[in-house]
Amino acid sequence: MSGLGGLNKSPDGVVIGLVQMQLPVVDTPEQLREQVGRIVGLTAKARNGLRGMDLVVFPEYSLHGLSMNTDPALMCRIDGPEVEAFKKACRDNRIWGCFSIMEANPDGYPYNTGLIIDDQGEIRLNYRKLHPWVPVEPWEPGNLGIPVCDGPNGSKLALIICHDGMFPEMARECAYLGADVMIRTAGYTAPIRHAWQVTNQANAFCNLMYTASVCMCGSDGTFDSMGEAMIVGFDGVPLVVGGGRPDEIVAGEIRPSLVREARRLWGVENNIYQFGHRGYVAVDGGAGDCPYTYMEDLVNGRYRLPWEDEVVVKDGTSEGFPKPTRSYPGKAAGR
């Protein structure tokens, strides 16, 4: 249950609001400033509309729209005015917020970045999208791993972005690092609706973890995003599901203490534990080896599919991007 959309908040509950934000057109710095104002206004609406809300989540592309415009004049910095406005909105409204920016990168294409800011206006999580939606998106692959942070009312939060959620390893990493809530923000359009739903449910169930996910919504005259906000319980059952109404804030309550209880007490289908303790009925402690060839090959830099040579789309030229000439430099220092 979700406490009637967060109207009846439990003492250990966390009320999340997912903003199905109207898809904007942002082609100029002035339009960027206007969109910052809309996001700040909806942050206040979230607080005023539901006084018990703890965290308001804006979708991927809520600031920049879906144009994939990499004009340096539109790119943001973590210490820039756009992020400062988001920090002030959280502080003024005493609410946590999750925001999306396209972050300037002096060494290549911009990063697709997500931020979680607490109710004091402090950045608690900074994530760069690990898996840009190729071949469509030009963003630099993220280099900060998957950070996890303490969230409101005893929760532990992780954030992934859009296409990230199609890789089960992403959700598993979030849970492995201790997250009991995985936020997924997106700009997806209608053809992805079914995959969106089933992956949000599978990511929750396979890791005994809540998932809270939201897309952009409505049309910008070219693209049509689908909204489809949803909160899924740790048993894989949707608790709250939105539709396609732009700017609707779909809210619900989660209870992270129940995740911790399930992870501690469940025997059957405690998959996040059992993954590293195979067959513990037969052998003491279970098998702790890695039987997965793809994991070993990826770690050792030799990941290669049996049909690798037959893959047709291997760069962004089909979407009008030039073939890249530089190699990935690796993760950021200290990670």
pLDDT tens for 18-64 read: 999 999 999 999 999 999 999 999 999 999 999 999 999 999 999 99
DSSP string, 122-180: -EEEEEE-SS--TTT--PPPP-S---EEE-GGG-EEEEEEGGGGGSHHHHHHHHHTT-S
Instruction: Let me know if 331 is a catalytic residue.
Output: no
* Contact between residue 130 and residue 164 where contact means Cβ atoms under 8 Å apart: yes
Q: pLDDT at position 196, please?
A: 98
Which residue out of 9, 60, 76, 253 is catalytically annotated? 60
Helix (H, G, I), strand (E, B) or coil at 215: strand
Q: What is the mean pLDDT of residues 292-296?
A: 97
Q: Would you give the DSSP letter of residue 321? A: P
CA separation for the pair 37, 42 (Å, rounded): 9
Instruction: Let me know if 319 is a catalytic residue.
Output: no
pLDDT tens for 321-334 read: 999 999 998 776 54
**pLDDT at residue 317 above 90?**
yes
**pLDDT at residue 121 above 90?**
yes
Which residue out of 87, 90, 98, 129 is catalytically annotated? 129
Q: pLDDT at position 5, please?
A: 84
Q: pLDDT at position 329, please?
A: 86
At 335, is the pLDDT very low, low, confident or very high (cuts 50, 70, 90)?
very low
Q: pLDDT at position 228, please?
A: 96
Q: pLDDT at position 332, please?
A: 65
Q: What is the mean pLDDT of residues 105-114?
A: 97
Strands 148-150, 156-161: pairing kind:
antiparallel
Identify which has the larger pLDDT, 241 or 331: 241
Helix (H, G, I), strand (E, B) or coil at 203: helix
CA separation for the pair 237, 207 (Å, rounded): 13
Instruction: Let me know if 269 is a catalytic residue.
Output: no
Single-letter code of the amino acid located at 268: V
Q: pLDDT at position 3, please?
A: 78
Q: pLDDT at position 233, please?
A: 98
Q: How distant, in Å, are the alpha carbons of 64, 66, 114, 146, 188 from that of 61?
A: 5, 6, 10, 19, 10
Residue 126 CB coordination number (10 Å): 18
Which residue out of 162, 174, 215, 217 is catalytically annotated? 162
**pLDDT at residue 185 above 80?**
yes
In the chain, what percentage of residues exceed pLDDT 70? 98
Sorted by where each begins, the domain ranges of the chain are 3-268
Q: What is the average pLDDT score of the chain?
A: 96
Provide the H-helix boundaries in the chain.
3-6, 29-49, 81-93, 168-176, 193-205, 256-265, 271-274, 293-299
CATH architecture of 3-268: 4-Layer Sandwich (3.60)
At 78, is the pLDDT very low, low, confident or very high (cuts 50, 70, 90)?
very high
pLDDT tens for 125-171 read: 999 999 999 999 999 999 999 999 999 999 999 999 999 999 999 99
Single-letter code of the amino acid located at 106: P
